[in-house]
């Protein structure tokens, strides 16, 4: 499958949009007005961008504590994202969830659950509903490498495989659960063997390569609808601390060589290199694009700061079941 020039540019723009938004959140966070912990995805953008390129608004996603990029890539509202971070009524959960609870029915981002592995069975339930309703959608379940250590992960894969549900499991393996590496947690356990043994198709992508992830997501979506569950497994890397706006490389829980390896594999740099090679990258245009995203985001922050938080009275009257 060939990706045309326009699509290549779209990929780069989407990676960049998410990077800039997360960078600006990191800057703003230091002003201590965002009223929640934040888990940023800087460095990990290729997975949500590649996967989302094959999804429609009607397809469903569920996410984790590190959910901003998933929400943005699914077409979520930037104003609603910021509103949620500032605890405002305009937020995706009216400002009472915070960064780890992006939820927006308008784009079928159904849940973000910070209990590790917690959103996996929700995504499986959605897959089951799609199957029963015979609608041609998929349920995408994003999770980190640590979620594969939870009991519910195994139960969910088992049920999805048994019922042949239209689910794309997406494992974003950034090697770490907070400060602890995959090897320290479960030695040389082979995730590929494990997932295949559960009768779920396994597709590994190239590291941080948005085009490859896009192409493989197309295959995954087709498989999920026709044959049942599939797992996209993608190695990637976060640049900042597990939770918060800072770099924590001074703590030395990650080897220097490893950090250097991943910085050379930056998803945006990789894409720019490719576009330069086929001569469709223009420095000036790209800079203009970056500046306009940054400007829009900052003005949205300023606007949000001047809006209201949910009143106690309204909070008491909220009916979630509606």
Ligand X SMILES: Cc1ncc(C[n+]2csc(CCOP(=O)(O)OP(=O)(O)O)c2C)c(N)n1
Binding of residue 254 to ligand X (CB under 6 A): no
CA gap 194, 148 in Å, rounded: 10
Query: Which of 14, 45, 59, 145 touches ligand X by CB under 6 A?
Result: 145
Selected range binding ligand X among 82-90, 109-117, 192-200, 284-292, rule: CB under 6 A: 109-117
CA gap 35, 250 in Å, rounded: 26
Q: Which is nearer to ligand X, 191 or 219 (CB)?
A: 191
Query: Which of 145, 209, 211, 266 touches Mg ion by CB under 5 A?
Result: 145
CA angle, corner 81, sides to 77 and 84, nearest 5? Answer: 140
Binding of residue 66 to ligand X (CB under 6 A): yes
Q: Which is nearer to ligand X, 135 or 180 (CB)?
A: 180
Q: Cβ of residue 99: shortest distance to ligand X, in angstroms?
A: 12
Say if residues 88 and 308 touch (Cβ distance below 8 Å): yes
Q: Cβ of residue 295: shortest distance to ligand X, in angstroms?
A: 29
Question: Helices 5-29 and 78-85 meet at what angle, rounded to 10?
Answer: 20
Burial class for 126, CB neighbours closer than 10 Å (0-12, 13-18, 19+): buried
Binding of residue 271 to Mg ion (CB under 5 A): no
Nearest to 190 by CA among 130, 233, 229, 246: 233
CA angle, corner 237, sides to 223 and 175, nearest 5? Answer: 80
Binding of residue 147 to ligand X (CB under 6 A): yes
Query: Which of 176, 202, 214, 262 touches ligand X by CB under 6 A?
Result: 176
Dihedral angle over CA of 145, 21, 62, 66, nearest 10: 30
CA gap 46, 60 in Å, rounded: 19
Q: Which is nearer to Mg ion, 86 or 176 (CB)?
A: 176
Query: Which region, left, alpha or beta, applies to residue 62 given φ > 0 means left and ψ of -120 to 50 means alpha?
Result: beta
State the residue number with the nearest CB to ligand X. Answer: 144
Q: Which does 114 bind (CB under 5 to 8 A by kind): ligand X, Mg ion, none?
A: ligand X
Q: Which does 147 bind (CB under 5 to 8 A by kind): Mg ion, ligand X, none?
A: ligand X
Q: Cβ of residue 289: shortest distance to ligand X, in angstroms?
A: 28
Query: Which of 6, 105, 133, 178 touches ligand X by CB under 6 A?
Result: 178
Q: Which of residues 150-209 bind Mg ion (CB under 5 A)?
A: 174, 176
- Residues at the contact surface with Mg ion, assessed by CB under 5 A: 144-145, 174, 176
């Amino acid at each position: 499958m060939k990706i045309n020039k326009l699509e290549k540019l779209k990929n780069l723009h989407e990676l960049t949009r998410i990077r800039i938004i997360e960078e600006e959140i990191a800057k703003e966070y230091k002003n201590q007005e965002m009223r929640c912990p934040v888990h940023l995805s800087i460095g990990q953008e290729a997975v949500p961008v590649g996967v989302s390129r094959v999804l429609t608004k009607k397809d469903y996603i569920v996410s984790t504590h590190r959910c901003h990029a998933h929400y943005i890539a699914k077409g979520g509202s930037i104003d609603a994202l910021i509103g949620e971070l500032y605890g405002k009524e305009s937020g995706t959960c009216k400002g009472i969830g915070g960064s780890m609870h992006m939820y927006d029915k308008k784009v079928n981002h159904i849940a973000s659950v910070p209990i590790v592995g917690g959103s996996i069975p929700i995504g499986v339930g959605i897959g089951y509903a799609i199957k029963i309703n015979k609608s041609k959608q998929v349920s995408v379940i994003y999770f980190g490498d640590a979620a594969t250590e939870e009991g519910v992960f195994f139960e969910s894969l088992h049920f999805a495989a048994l019922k042949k549900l239209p689910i794309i499991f997406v494992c974003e393996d950034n090697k770490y659960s907070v400060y602890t590496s995959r090897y320290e947690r479960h030695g040389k356990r082979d995730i590929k063997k494990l997932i295949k043994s559960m009768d779920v198709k396994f597709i590994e992508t190239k590291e941080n390569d948005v085009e490859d992830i896009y192409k493989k997501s197309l295959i995954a979506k087709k498989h999920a609808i026709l044959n049942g569950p599939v797992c996209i497994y993608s190695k990637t890397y976060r640049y900042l601390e597990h939770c918060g706006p800072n770099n924590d490389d001074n703590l030395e829980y990650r080897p220097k060589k490893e950090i250097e390896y991943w910085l050379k594999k930056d998803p945006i740099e990789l894409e720019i290199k490719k576009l330069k090679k086929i001569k469709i990258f223009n420095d000036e245009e790209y800079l203009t694009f970056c500046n306009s995203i940054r400007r829009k985001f900052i003005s949205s922050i300023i606007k949000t700061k001047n809006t209201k938080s949910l009143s106690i009275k309204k909070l008491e009257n909220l009916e979630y079941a509606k």
